[in-house]
Amino acid sequence: MPVNPELTDRAFAPTAPYLVGREKVREFSRAVFATAPMHHDPEAARAAGFSDVVAPPTFPIVIAEATLQQLLAEPDAGIDFSRVVHGDQRFSYTRPIVAGDELTATLRVTSIKSLGGNSMVTSESAMTDASGEHVVTSVSTLVIRGDDS
Amino acid sequence: MSLLDGLAVGQVVAERSFPLTRDSLVRYAGASGDFNPIHYRDDVAAAVGLPGVLAHGMLTMGFAVQPVVDWLDARGWVSDYQVRFTRPVVVDPQLGAVVTVVATVAAVDETGARIDLTATVGEQTVLGKAQVRVTPLAG
C-alpha cells in the first residue's frame, strides 16, 4: 500500500502536555554522553541563566515520538513501520528546553514524495510551552522502503 | 571573551571519539523510548537483512553534537541542529564501534555561527549535512 498523499491536508490534535522532568533530562543526557554540568546540575544551569537543568539538543525526539505514533495510528496512512528508516532530522529552537517545561506537540505532514520505489514522508512537530509560546520544532523525514527494495 | 570573537571559518573547535557498546544502545533505548529490537537483538536485525545490530540514528545524532556543547561551555547554545542519516553504525556485540566526531567552523555572522560535523566509523562517514547553529548566550 502506498503512503496516502492526503496526509498532508490532515489536522492532528495536539498531544497531551509532556512535563520535562529533571531526572529524565539527566537520564537522557547520560544516554547521549552529554556531560556538560548544565544538563545535570541545577546550580550550573542557573549560573548560565536557566531556571533548571537544560535538555540536550536532541531531547525533543522523546516528545516527537508521541506524534509519530499519531501518524502511524492513522488507519489509512499506508505506512508500514517495519519498512521505515529515519532519513534526516532537524531541531529548530526558539529557546532551550529546561526541566519544568510543559510541552505540547502538534504534528503536520509537510511533504510526501516518491523516489525510486521508496516513499519519503516529511513531518514536523511544533512544540509550545504552557503559555503557548514556541520552543522547538522537530522535523523528520522517514523513508518507507518499497516492496522490492 | 565573546563566543564569536576570533572564530575563523575552517577552524576545528572540537574533536572526540565515542566508543559505543551494546550497553550504550540499551541505555539509549530506555532513555528515549525507542525500543525497536534492531537496536539490541541480533536475530531480529538478521531477519530484516541488516548487517548487524545498529545504533539508533538518534543516538548518533545525540552524541555527535556534544563536542560542540562542551566547547561552548555555557557561552552559547545550540539553536538549530540537523543531520542526514547516511550510513548505519553497526555495533559488534564484543568489539562495539567507535564513532569519531570533528566539529569545524563553517560560517560566522553577527548573531552566531554554523559548525559542521563529520562523524566517521573507520574511514566511512555515517552522517551527512550535519550542521549546528550556535547562538551566544547573553551575559
Residues 6+ apart with CB under 8 A from A125: A60, A63, A64, A67, A105, A106, A107, A108, A137, A138, A140
> What pLDDT is stored for residue B1 in this prediction?
59
> What pLDDT is stored for residue A148 in this prediction?
56
The band of B121, judged by pLDDT with boundaries at 50, 70 and 90, is very high
| Residue B135 confidence (pLDDT) above 70 | yes
> What pLDDT is stored for residue A79 in this prediction?
83
Cross-strand pairs, B114 = B107, B133
Q: Are residues B87 and B130 in contact, defined by beta-carbon separation less than 8 angstroms?
A: no
Give the nearest chain A residue to B128 (CA atoms).
A88
- Using CA atoms, how far apart are residues B55 and B58, in angstroms rounded to an integer? 8
* ipTM for this model: 0.96
A-chain residues near B132 (CB < 8 A): 57
> What pLDDT is stored for residue A146 in this prediction?
79
**Which one of B79, B86, B115 would you mutate to disrupt binding with A, by most A Cβ within 10 Å of its Cβ?**
B79
Please tell me which of the candidates A34, A65, A92 has its beta carbon nearest to residue B80.
Answer: A92
| Residue A139 confidence (pLDDT) above 50 | yes
> What pLDDT is stored for residue B103 in this prediction?
98
Question: B121 and chain A: CB distance < 8 Å anywhere?
Answer: no
Size of interface A-B (CB pairs under 8 A): 100
The band of A134, judged by pLDDT with boundaries at 50, 70 and 90, is very high
Question: A96 and chain B: CB distance < 8 Å anywhere?
Answer: yes
DSSP track, B8-25? -TT-EEEEEEEEE-HHHH
Please tell me which of the candidates B27, B33, B59 has its beta carbon nearest to residue A62.
Answer: B33
pLDDT digits (tens, 9 = 90+) for B18-72: 999 999 999 999 999 999 999 999 999 999 889 999 999 999 999 999 999 999 9
The four Cα atoms A53, A103, B66, B132 give a dihedral, to 10 degrees, of -130
B73, containing H or E segment: none
pLDDT digits (tens, 9 = 90+) for A41-84: 999 999 999 999 999 999 999 999 889 888 888 888 888 777 88
User: Looking at residues A103-122, what average pLDDT do you find?
Assistant: 93
- What share of chain B has pLDDT > 90, as a percent? 90
> What pLDDT is stored for residue A72 in this prediction?
86
B-chain residues near A34 (CB < 8 A): 62-63, 66, 69
Question: B8 and chain A: CB distance < 8 Å anywhere?
Answer: no
Question: A118 and chain B: CB distance < 8 Å anywhere?
Answer: no
The band of A149, judged by pLDDT with boundaries at 50, 70 and 90, is very low
> What pLDDT is stored for residue A2 in this prediction?
77
Nearest chain A Cα distance for residue B12, angstroms: 20
B-chain residues near A87 (CB < 8 A): 84-85
